[in-house]
Amino acid sequence: MIWKKIDKALVKKHVRPIYQKINKNLHGSLDVFRLAGQTFTKERAPEAAASMAYFTFFSLFPLILVIISFASFILKSQFVQDQVFQFIIDLIPISPDIIVSNIENVLTKRGAVGWLAIVGLIWSATTMFNIFALNVDRAWSDERSHNFFERRLIGIIIIVGLSILILILWGFNTFLKIELIENLLAYFQIPIFQTTLYEILAYITPRVFRFIIFWVMYQWIPKALVKPSEAFWGATFAIILTELITVIMNWYISSQWVRYELIYGSLGRIIALMLWIYFSSYVILFGAHISSAVGVLFRKRYNNTLPKEEYQ
């Protein structure tokens, strides 16, 4: 009732100058978030985040299995498993032991995986990338979108890329274990693995890696032509918010305020993992709309087609 009595025109008259002043000082950042929010809602991205979380959860295990199987054709299986499990711990900080223990159990019970089985795993694993690519395309609503098979191909390329990353990690690990390198480190008394610098790098590296993943995906996945600077801002938003979500959820789960096991029993940690995937999916999709909004607004401003008062 109170809202109905408020003169909306009067509110706009007083709020607009404040908005425009702040927006100008922030070089158009408020307009970016405003447009991103509009397109995010228009394309029903909140619902897409829920479906993306669902498909991500069910695609996660086939994805891990196919990466292990693919890389095991070249490297020793145990090394591949160790690298993939460490990658999972770095990438999924909420309840990673659930995923690791289940994958270990599956690998113990199954035999060698043939090519036909790998094809089936790849198809299942690419489902989440298919959903992600579809919704990233929707962020650029005025542009053409990838078709179904192109989105599946994107998923396959991402899986191959992750497998190649395992090979790179193997090469780096092998380099450090070369006798000459070990002798040089010992001779110059460089305790590389016991230094504060190493601990800092161990903390920063996974986050830098995730930032690069977001940056590459926001630029490469859309069928629209996306500039690196446009993808950069979406990736920056996504990495900051996903890290914040992880910190908050870790604190919340470890606190005494929540006892999932009292409601969900043994499924409590899986529910926590699903929530983390959902919130992260929400942020990641919004990051795509941030990139799109940056592109739309600043391309128009560069071409002098955006009304000047939008930034004043």
The answer to whether the beta carbons of residues 67 and 121 sit under 8 Å apart is no
**What is the SS3 string spanning the chain?**
CHHHHCCHHHHHHHHHHHHHHHHHHCCCHHHHHHHHHHHHHHCCHHHHHHHHHHHHHHHHHHHHHHHHHHHHCCCCHHHHHHHHHHHHHHHCCCCHHHHHHHHHHHHHHCCCCCHHHHHHHHHHHCHHHHHHHHHHHHHCCCCCCCCHHHHHHHHHHHHHHHHHHHHHHHHHHHHHCCHHHHHHHHHCCCCHHHCHHHHHHHHHHHHHHHHHHHHHHHHHCCCCCCCHHHHHHHHHHHHHHHHHHHHHHHHHHHCCCCCHHHHHHHHHHHHHHHHHHHHHHHHHHHHHHHHHHHHHHHHHHHCCCCCHHHHC
Most confidently modeled range among 26-40, 99-113, 252-266: 26-40
What is the per-residue pLDDT across 207-266, written as a single tens digit (0 to 9) for each?
888 899 899 999 998 888 889 999 999 999 999 999 999 888 878 777 766 666 666 666
| Residue, of 282 and 251, whose pLDDT is higher | 282
Mean pLDDT of 180-195: 59
Find the range with the poorest average confidence among 35-44, 134-143, 224-233: 134-143
Residue 176 has pLDDT above 60, yes or no: no
Q: Report pTM.
A: 0.77
**Hey, where are the domains in the chain?**
29-311
Lowest pLDDT segment from 101-105, 192-196, 275-279? 192-196
